[in-house]
Structure 1
Amino acid sequence: MQSTRQGLKKLSSFGLCGPTLPLKDGLDMRKIEEGTELEFMTDHLEDELKDMQIESNKIYFEGVDKFSYLFDQDSDDEAEGNSSLSWFERIGLKMRNLTQDGGVRKMIKKEGIGSVVPANCKIRAHYNGYLEDLDEPFDSSRLRNKELQVTLGKSEIVLGLDIGIASMRKEEVARFLIQPSYGYGRMGCPPRIPGNATILFEVELLGFTDSALLDDYQELSEEEKRGLPFQSILEVAKLHNVEGNDFYKRQQYGKATRKYMSTINTLESVTLQNEEQERDVVHICIKAYLNMALCHLKAAHFGKAIAAGKKVLQWEVEHPKALYICGKALHHLGEFKSARTYLMRANATMPSSRDVLKELQILDHDETRWLAAERDMCKKMFERN
């Protein structure tokens, strides 16, 4: 029995370190008791594992002290006369109420940009959660190195945190002091959180998208999707593109590419009524294919980068960025002559671009070295004869 528990513990610990993977064969308790390694199916998760590897390469505790009140508690004293107050009481002096009864209070540590989070949005955030009598977080997305991703208004997080995040702007960092009635209540969440506990969350809002619109769209049949108004389909496509941009910024190129492809697939269901609608669709498709090409270039998928770039060139023959991406990808493949053709076209349409000029210089250097190496190899071959 003891060996069974150890085997199950081993199995559960695997889940904490990576994605949930399906077993190749059925679960055999005898193998678990004997400590036999379990075989998982991993081929279909290649992109997901690559994306996770990028995240895991970051410093595990990166940013934990970036906005922790434990590291600046002295600065939270309103005055020397407040030294008898508890940490939470001192912090609360600088906060404003988000609810009429003062159950959720807020203090901004770093101003955000843009508009406040709209209702029912899907958000991405990092957070640390504290109890007053502990010197470390009782919960932290940063310690787990995994962002919080929830839809507001769906009871996916405690009410006080939901209310707090709904008051934030993108890139804002804020603290929320949450009373038990808006937190874990009279019962708490044993063993980590006692009953009637006041909690403090420090949150950094990374981004958000209109989840309600995307969720509603996904529930429609193909026939219902085709019957939607043009502007509704256009908004859905734009949201996919925004999500792709977020993944790109986080260097998760596989996920970003799939979102850009969703943008394009969404627009395939549109029945165009006039030239203006056609221009709007082409404009978004160009963005999506260009972003896909950049993702493939960053991921060293040079053939795919060229294919995506050429899609853009079908609409705009001299699109400078598409020409640049194709030229750079061809350079990596050793196709120097073709690479130069694309880069020279890019330089003609965008002569002030330092990136294009730099790539041409690198191409000259690499081609010269390659030709010299080829001549040297031929010379040695003839000398042997």
Structure 2
Amino acid sequence: MGYETKLLLFPFSPLLALGCTVKYSGYLGNWNNLFCSNESSKYPRLMKLGKDITLWGLEIGLLSMTKGETALFVLRPEYAYGQRGCPPSIPPNTTVLFKVELLDFIDSEECDAFFELTYEQQDRHPLEKVLKVAATEREFGNYFFYKQRFKIAKSRYKRALSILGRSSSSKAEQSQINASKLLLFLNLSLTYLKMERADRALKYGELALEMDQGNAKALFRCGQVGK
């Protein structure tokens, strides 16, 4: 696997709501002195820049990368642990090196800002924006589902549903809303099955069937509940 060595010439404000999954290894001074790594993790957890990842240089570096890219970063002390270091692992004024692979990312900044609005303010946004926020929330739900963190996935799916109750001005708009809700109903039905909540799984399976009577996934979900 090839790595690109990046030179970061200027700092900029990171998107603190950017969630990403990365594989990384950190080294002190040279590439033989490993001090931290998650390379052995098969499924690295989702981390937020500015919260879980707080090294300024690493934040900037990750924001310069694209999904699937690998890179090597050399971070001077002012971009890493500073004059004090991080005893006992990191001595003062230490240059650190990071090998990073960006596996995936989801930008939740727009979602977080949207959910801070009142219901009336949300309702004034164009449908396109609402659908985008709902889709991003569903992506977060999918991420946590595949990590088998079903309670968090369920909450994300329901958060997306909470903004899809608006009245539509046309059949075309209603069709878009229904398509988004259908995916969420199916996801919630499967999530509740995984949580062994048959009653809730059936509820959302039936809601999906109300929108699409012949939906194979919804029929299958309801059939699983009946076993």
TM-score (norm 1): 0.51
Instruction: Look up the match of 2:8.
Output: 99
Distance 2:167 2:186 in 1: 23
Quote the Cα distance in structure 1 between the aligned partners of 2:52 and 2:153.
28
Provide the aligned length of Structure 1 versus Structure 2. Answer: 223
What are the ranges of 5 or more consecutive residues in structure 2 without an aligned counterpart? none
In structure 1, the residue matched to 2:222 is: 326
Q: CA deviation at 1:313?
A: 0.4
After superposition, give the CA deviation of every residue in 1:232-265 in whole Å (9 maximum; x if it has no partner).
2111111111101111121212211111111111
- Kindly indicate whether residue 76 of structure 2 is the aligned counterpart of residue 167 of structure 1: no
Q: For CA contacts below 8 A with separation 6 or more, give which structure has more relative contact order.
A: 2
**What is the alpha-carbon root mean square deviation over aligned residues?**
3.1
Match of 1:262 in 2: 159
Query: Residue 267 of structure 1 aligns to a residue in which SS?
Result: coil
Amino acid at match of 1:96: T
Q: Partner residue of 1:237?
A: 134
Pairwise CA distance, 1:285: 0.3
Structure 1 pair 266/136, CA: closer, same or farther in 2 (3 Å)? farther
Query: Hey, what does 1:379 align to over in structure 2?
Result: none
**Contact kept in structure 1, 2:47 and 2:53, CA below 8 Å:** no
Q: What residue number does 2:84 align with?
A: 187
Corresponding residue for residue 272 of structure 1 = 168
Q: Map of 1:1-385 to 2, 5 A cutoff?
A: 95-100=4-9, 121-126=17-22, 127-132=24-29, 137-140=34-37, 147=45, 149-151=47-49, 157-268=54-165, 270-331=166-227
Distance 1:155 1:142, change over 3 A: closer
Name the CA distance, whole Å, in 2 between partners of 1:97 and 1:286: 43
Unpaired runs of 5+ residues, structure 1, are 1-66, 68-75, 77-93, 104-117, 332-385
Q: Contact 2:202 / 2:221 at 8 angstroms: preserved in 1?
A: yes
What displacement does 1:120 show?
Answer: 5.4
Which whole-Å CA distance do the structure 2 matches of 1:272 and 1:241 have between them?
A: 21
Please give the per-residue CA displacement for 1:45-77, whole angstroms capped at 9, x wherever unaligned.
xxxxxxxxxxxxxxxxxxxxxx9xxxxxxxx9x
Name the CA shift for 1:173/1:302 in 2 (closer, same or farther; >3 Å). farther
User: Deviation at 1:324?
Assistant: 0.9
Compare the two structures and name the one with the higher helix fraction: 1
The alpha-carbon deviation at position 307 of structure 1 amounts to 1.2
CA distance in 2: counterparts of 1:206 and 1:259, whole angstroms: 21
Specify whether residues 133 and 207 from structure 1 end up closer, same or farther in structure 2 by C-alpha distance, changes over 3 A only.
closer
Q: Which structure has the larger Rg? A: 1
Distance 1:314 1:148 in 2: 34
